[in-house]
Amino acid sequence: QKEVEQDPGPLSVPEGAIVSLNCTYSNSAFQYFMWYRQYSRKGPELLMYTYSSGNKEDGRFTAQVDKSSKYISLFIRDSQPSDSATYLCAMIGSGSARQLTFGSGTQLTVLP
Amino acid sequence: NAGVTQTPKFQVLKTGQSMTLQCAQDMNHNSMYWYRQDPGMGLRLIYYSASEGTTDKGEVPNGYNVSRLNKREFSLRLESAAPSQTSVYFCASSERRQLITNTGELFFGEGSRLTVL
């Protein structure tokens, strides 16, 4: 079983929709949670970073962490065609502070 | 500002051939990483270098070797390529040795697409 599970999609939504992307994990040592965005044929780039449980908002993006359920989410409001990309969750545990563990990524397409 | 530069961007090899992927960063970062990305598998760490002069194995190191040539450059070598090494390879760097002190931010190159026949 993978430490981090992510629905690969693909997910296709109309412009303006609210998008929910999710990851589950099994390692309770994970303390720091990130979302990376990867455009086609490009390297990933950091989108959001959260520590422990709770919500963090940045513009149209909200990252949510529920450590009791080992579940993290990324919400995109008023989605735009420019949001079309693959979204990867990533995590670090305090015992592995030099390595990120990535989910497999969810491919999102926002249709104009 | 170039960031992280990888060469070559594309390569086709025959089974048993060797090659080296080059990576250079111009951000004065301490740590550098090599990942491979395969469909359904996400990004998997091959090797990393927390600082100049040190290298450590990641999740999938077999069949690879690395060299941290200096603070800027980190190369990945395939000594005898196999079809299972067909993948997209990403080099990344981070400012600090401990990722948790750095908001977990890695800066990635654009990838090197390798096909082994």
Write out the DSSP string of B54-69: --EE-S--TTEEEEE-
Cβ pair B112, B89 in contact under 8 A: yes
Does the pLDDT value for residue B101 go beyond 60? no
Give which of B106, B107, B113 to mutate to test A binding, by max A Cβ within 10 Å: B106
Q: Give the span between the Cα atoms of B114 and B97, in whole angstroms.
A: 28
Mean pLDDT, chain B, rounded, equals 91
Give which of B100, B102, B110, B113 to mutate to test A binding, by max A Cβ within 10 Å: B100
CB contact under 8 A, A99 and B48: yes
Kind of pairing between the strands at B10-13 and B112-116:
parallel
Does the pLDDT value for residue A5 go beyond 80? yes
pLDDT, one tens digit per residue, over B77-91 is: 999 999 999 999 999
Percent of chain A with pLDDT over 70: 95
CB nearest B99 (choices: A98, A103, A104): A98
CB nearest B58 (choices: A34, A41, A99): A99
Cβ pair A37, A85 in contact under 8 A: yes
Q: How confident is the model at residue A95 (pLDDT cuts 50, 70, 90)?
A: low
Torsion of CA B59, A103, A83, A66, to 10 degrees: -130
